[in-house]
């Protein structure tokens, strides 16, 4: 599904819903994070997840990682995974919390 648009560099994390890789968007040279969200047990979960991701794409706030793209299969029958393309952060929330004093 990712085609030739992205060059995957490294796995940066794994979780209950999928895997996160660092990559380069070949046309722009921009570093991105690709989150593969899978598997879906039911088509309703596919559609709900896709709808929520599309809403996230339109949110733009300081301090929120923006959604650059959403890559999905061409048909509902082939919908086993979805890829969320986001800005690549060089750290994660766990490291930020661990190394920073939290204030009121």
Residues tagged in the binding site annotation for ATP: 36
Q: Show binding-site residues.
A: 36
Give whole-number Cα distances, 7 to 27, 34, 45, 88, 103, in Å: 10, 10, 28, 14, 39
Give, in order, the Cα–Cα distances in Å from 54 to each of 12, 22, 29, 48, 99. Answer: 23, 21, 24, 10, 32
């Amino acid at each position: 599904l990712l085609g030739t648009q992205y060059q995957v560099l490294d796995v940066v994390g794994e979780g209950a819903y999928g895997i996160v890789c660092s990559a380069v968007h070949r046309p722009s040279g921009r570093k991105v994070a690709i989150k593969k969200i899978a598997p879906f047990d039911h088509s309703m979960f596919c559609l709900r997840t896709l709808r929520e991701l599309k809403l996230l794409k339109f949110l733009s706030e300081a301090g929120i990682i923006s959604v650059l793209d959403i890559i999905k299969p061409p048909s509902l029958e082939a919908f086993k995974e979805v890829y969320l393309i986001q800005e690549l952060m060089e750290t994660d929330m766990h490291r930020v919390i661990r190394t920073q004093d939290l204030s009121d």
